[in-house]
Amino acid sequence: MKTHAKVVVIGGGVVGCSVLYHLTRFGWSDVVLLERSELTSGSTWHAAGGMHTINGDPNVAKLQKYTVDLYREIEAYSGQDIGLHMTGGVMLAATKERHDWLKSIMAKGRYLGLDALLITPTEAADLFPLMDPDQFVGALYDEVEGHLDPYGTTHAYAKSARKNGAQIELRCMVEALEMRTDGTWKVTTNKGDVIAEHVVNAAGLWAREVGRMVGLELPVLAMEHMYLLTEDMPEVAAFNAERGREMLHAVDFDGELYLRQERGGMLMGTYEKACKPWSPEVTPWDFGRDLLPPDLDRIAPSLEVGFRHFPAFEHAGIKTVINGPFTFAPDGNPLVGPIRGLPGFWSACGVMAGFSQGGGVGLALANWMIDGDPGLDVFAMDVSRFGDYATMAYTNAKVQENYARRFSIRFPNEELPAGRPLRTTPIYDILRGKGAQFGAAHGLEVPLWFAPDGVTDAFSWRRSTDFEHVGAEAKAVRGGVGVIEISGFAKYAVTGPGAAAWLDRLLAGHIPAPGRMAIAPMLKDDGHVIGDFTLANLGPGGDGHAGFFIAGSGIAEDYHMRWFDRHLTGGVSVRAHGAGLVGLGIAGPRARDVLGEVTPAGFDVADFAFMDIRRVTLGMAPCTVGRVSFTGDLGYEIWMAPEYQRHVYHAIHAAGAAHGIRDFGLRALNALRLEKNFGGWGREYRPIYSPYEAGLGRFVALGKDADFIGKAAAARMKADGGKMRLRSFTVDATDADVIGDEPIWQGDDVIGWVTSGGYAHASGVSVAMGYVPRAIAETDDGWEIEIMGSRCPARLQRRPLFDPDGTRMRA
């Protein structure tokens, strides 16, 4: 066995073998995979082997498409038969809501080049005669769907990797991991030690145990999962004989079932509501190529629906029931990427759909390890999307919710309840008492809107019960003043003698003068946007609050901290405040009057210019107040230690009562920022866009002395112009607004995609933001945006709907 290697991959399941293959494919051949038993000895060997491209997240769908497209290639390259059956598949909707969901999935797929087709139940029954068409309202047909042999596929990756120079060591158990002082890793195994520059945790069912070897508690839980195999069915034989091909794959969302042909019979699997975690705390090392006892009672309700929807099953004999465990992260997506604080340690686990996603995971991780960047937008899979709040107990609650809802619809306005409330701010109960409806962001409860007594969110694809109330909140801000909890932002303190110079190199914008703030994009080496922040220079105050303050996206707190850490130099300290610093925002034309009444005499609010930031006492509480607002209105963001938040909130309300102050939530904030064409992280701003495409170019200071990260690439992108442009549109929508990821049409072509949008209540129009090709980005006519299967006329909104000159914000 090798004693030194550039990379040690732990785990010979489909994911580890894919990672190993991709590393060698991109030129790293000094790599070794260590497998404690034989290849496929975790979840992989008993998988049903189904794979498909369609996914609710277009970025994940892209990686799934890559995975499926890769199969023929690795089969040919390795010479290993992977048992590929590309049958095509139908997704079946038994309700109108599910049919709407299928329409949205089809629309999202358009600009990815996915050729899924909406068909009627009768058309679906012609393709898949086992179904009773009367039980369904519609279906989506996709020809890129099928199944393969899990063993053959894993071995195809492994053989391809070996052919490229990789080594695979079987019956080699990793027992301990230790980071050495020179930054390399000592990997202790039953066959001796290996010293490696990089270690990849692809240990599947044992990913938690391998994580614990380096002090990590990964948010992963294994769930039991069952599928049954029937005896040969005459209906299957008749179909095969008549059509000369196999049965299609089918997913029945309302029955929580998936089906496919297996030899002369059928395979039927369930994501049952009465789901069961397996080994929730520790995965036993003596588990291997084992199965769990079947429990048909647990899946009986799904089977009952199955017999109704697919009558032929009622007479089919059950040959075998397979029950095996496989792992999930709290949101069902993989956990991929580098681990903050552990240089050279990488995660490739929590992959619940290894045969749809394994190739994409291998591709992204290999890019990341070799080039320092995944090369794709993989935030949905990034291990950093979870923070410390994702404890084992939280993970347990969330994974069960996710499993039981795997085939359930998640409406765009639906907040899932498991594991909540977990992180709350001091005014949580006060806001709740006022009817606040909360969502969770990075585990923190954030108010979305305020419901009058007796009104709750009715989950829907269309405008719903919140519409008029969110509208009233938005209008109250534009017409007077509103207050919003903004603790959900990420907040960072950057201190130390080298702070200014470090930020000058890290961020693409100018460093503001003491007491001032600036919009600060952060770029990657390739010039794409990896963060968008408000940077404040708190000055050298000497009061313990000196230094710099950064506010950014809350969901990206760990993602950005990992980036900060990676680039940290001596003499600088970066700290995430988390909920140790909380915030309130006030906005609207009367905001200044209200603030003036809660500040002590002598503080001249009128003297407080746009983008100023100061230490101010509000009521009796010490706060930091910045004059900036995402509403685009006159506004202030107020930051304080948690113990003062109730006091400040009450003081603002007491002063604001005479001005008609109203609480507002994030949905109203969204409606307000859309009127200003303001983008947000994770939607308009992502690591696949250049600042010039994203409309952030004016904040990139190419002329500043500092050689900031991405400067040379940004200069090239500016000269070149890039391919796409972020644009805002008003849309002739009727009863549903865009959610995100809808296609943008120009004439008969899908040429772009929506990033976000909604109803801009104060302006009374529906708005969509999205990316379109630069060459036609100034075109006024011919735009359409597809909402729920209907192409709605749209107009380019060149200037913001509200206060296009920004006078109100700066007044």
Ligand X SMILES: Cc1cc2nc3c(=O)[nH]c(=O)nc-3n(C[C@H](O)[C@H](O)[C@H](O)COP(=O)(O)OP(=O)(O)OC[C@H]3O[C@@H](n4cnc5c(N)ncnc54)[C@H](O)[C@@H]3O)c2cc1C
Q: Does 362 engage in binding with ligand X (CB under 6 A)?
A: no
Nearer to ligand X, 265 or 752 (CB): 265
Least CB distance to ligand X at residue 232 (A): 21
The one-character DSSP state at 492 is: E
Q: Of the candidates 50, 482, 531, 547, which one interacts with ligand X according to CB under 6 A? A: 50
Q: Does 14 engage in binding with ligand X (CB under 6 A)?
A: yes
Helix/strand/coil for 189 = strand
Q: Of the candidates 25, 46, 208, 516, which one interacts with ligand X according to CB under 6 A? A: 46
Q: Of the candidates 5, 9, 44, 652, which one interacts with ligand X according to CB under 6 A? A: 44
Work out the burial of residue 298: count CB atoms within 10 Å of its CB; fewer than 13 is exposed, 13-18 middle, 19 or more buried: middle
Distance CA 691, CA 508 (A): 10
Least CB distance to ligand X at residue 219 (A): 15
Give me the phi and psi of 366, to 5 degrees please. -65, -45
Least CB distance to ligand X at residue 334 (A): 8
Distance CA 480, CA 181 (A): 60
- Placement of tokens 């772009």 in the chain: 752
Least CB distance to ligand X at residue 43 (A): 4
Per CB under 6 A, which region of 48-56, 155-163, 573-581, 787-795 contacts ligand X?
Answer: 48-56
Nearer to ligand X, 395 or 534 (CB): 395
Nearer to ligand X, 11 or 521 (CB): 11
Q: Of the candidates 9, 13, 532, 582, which one interacts with ligand X according to CB under 6 A? A: 13
Looking at residues 166 to 185 of the shown chain, list those that interact with ligand X (rule: CB under 6 A).
173-174
Q: Does 206 engage in binding with ligand X (CB under 6 A)?
A: yes
Q: Does 80 engage in binding with ligand X (CB under 6 A)?
A: no
Nearer to ligand X, 342 or 654 (CB): 342
Nearer to ligand X, 173 or 796 (CB): 173
Least CB distance to ligand X at residue 352 (A): 5
For the record, the structure tokens of 181 come out as: 């002082």
Least CB distance to ligand X at residue 34 (A): 5
- Placement of tokens 């909604």 in the chain: 758
For the record, the structure tokens of 600 come out as: 């002590």
Q: Does 47 engage in binding with ligand X (CB under 6 A)?
A: yes
Q: Does 353 engage in binding with ligand X (CB under 6 A)?
A: yes
For the record, the structure tokens of 488 come out as: 């959900």
- Residues 500, 506, 512, 517: is their CA dihedral positive or negative? negative
- Residues 717, 719, 721, 727: is their CA dihedral positive or negative? positive
Amino acid at 302: S
Per CB under 6 A, which region of 44-52, 138-146, 450-458, 578-586 contacts ligand X?
Answer: 44-52
Say if residues 742 and 785 touch (Cβ distance below 8 Å): yes
Number of residues that bind ligand X (CB under 6 A): 42
Helix H or strand E segment including 275: none
Least CB distance to ligand X at residue 48 (A): 3
Q: Of the candidates 9, 202, 655, 669, which one interacts with ligand X according to CB under 6 A? A: 202
Least CB distance to ligand X at residue 351 (A): 4
Per CB under 6 A, which region of 43-51, 477-485, 611-619, 727-735 contacts ligand X?
Answer: 43-51
Say if residues 12 and 41 touch (Cβ distance below 8 Å): yes
Distance CA 83, CA 98 (A): 32
Say if residues 653 and 483 touch (Cβ distance below 8 Å): yes
Q: Does 201 engage in binding with ligand X (CB under 6 A)?
A: no
Distance CA 225, CA 205 (A): 13
For the record, the structure tokens of 56 come out as: 């609710």
Nearer to ligand X, 187 or 474 (CB): 187
Give me the phi and psi of 20, to 5 degrees please. -60, -45
Distance CA 461, CA 478 (A): 27
Where are the extended beta strands (E) located within 136-248? 138-142, 145-147, 167-169, 174-179, 185-189, 192-201, 221-230
Least CB distance to ligand X at residue 251 (A): 11
Q: Of the candidates 5, 7, 9, 10, which one interacts with ligand X according to CB under 6 A? A: 10
Q: At a CB cut-off of 8 Å and minimum separation 6, what does 337 contact?
A: 346, 347, 364, 365, 368, 374, 378, 381, 382, 383, 384
Per CB under 6 A, which region of 199-207, 537-545, 631-639, 715-723 contacts ligand X?
Answer: 199-207
Give me the phi and psi of 273, to 5 degrees please. -65, -40
Looking at residues 433 to 462 of the shown chain, list those that interact with ligand X (rule: CB under 6 A).
none
Q: Does 216 engage in binding with ligand X (CB under 6 A)?
A: no
Cα–chain-centroid distance for residue 222? 21
Where are the extended beta strands (E) located within 303-396? 318-328, 335-338, 345-349
Per CB under 6 A, which region of 6-14, 22-30, 365-373, 454-462 contacts ligand X?
Answer: 6-14
Least CB distance to ligand X at residue 400 (A): 16
Distance CA 190, CA 46 (A): 26
Q: Of the candidates 24, 55, 333, 356, which one interacts with ligand X according to CB under 6 A? A: 356
Least CB distance to ligand X at residue 99 (A): 25
Looking at residues 18 to 37 of the shown chain, list those that interact with ligand X (rule: CB under 6 A).
34-37
What x-and-dash track marks residues 525-554 binding ligand X by CB under 6 A?
A: ------------------------------
Looking at residues 701 to 760 of the shown chain, list those that interact with ligand X (rule: CB under 6 A).
none
Q: Of the candidates 21, 151, 185, 227, which one interacts with ligand X according to CB under 6 A? A: 227
Q: Of the candidates 9, 16, 408, 762, which one interacts with ligand X according to CB under 6 A? A: 16
Distance CA 565, CA 490 (A): 16
Distance CA 361, CA 18 (A): 8
Least CB distance to ligand X at residue 282 (A): 13
Least CB distance to ligand X at residue 310 (A): 18
Say if residues 461 and 103 touch (Cβ distance below 8 Å): no
Nearer to ligand X, 328 or 394 (CB): 328
Nearest to 202 by CA among 39, 372, 3: 39
Per CB under 6 A, which region of 14-22, 336-344, 720-728, 750-758 contacts ligand X?
Answer: 14-22
Q: Of the candidates 9, 24, 25, 49, which one interacts with ligand X according to CB under 6 A? A: 49
Looking at residues 288 to 317 of the shown chain, list those that interact with ligand X (rule: CB under 6 A).
none
Q: Does 70 engage in binding with ligand X (CB under 6 A)?
A: no
Nearest to 591 by CA among 664, 535, 487: 664
Helix/strand/coil percent split, the chain, to 5: 30, 30, 40
* Strands 765-773 vs 529-537: parallel, antiparallel or unpaired: unpaired
Distance CA 12, CA 748 (A): 47
Least CB distance to ligand X at residue 17 (A): 7
Q: Of the candidates 68, 177, 352, 651, which one interacts with ligand X according to CB under 6 A? A: 352
Give me the phi and psi of 212, to 5 degrees please. -65, -25
Q: At a CB cut-off of 8 Å and minimum separation 6, what does 43 contact?
A: 13, 204, 205, 222, 324, 325, 326, 327, 354
Distance CA 446, CA 583 (A): 11
Nearer to ligand X, 353 or 538 (CB): 353
What x-and-dash track marks residues 322-351 binding ligand X by CB under 6 A?
A: x-xxx----------------------x-x
Binding site for ligand X (CB under 6 A): 10-16, 34-37, 41-44, 46-51, 173-174, 202-206, 210, 225, 227, 322, 324-326, 349, 351-356
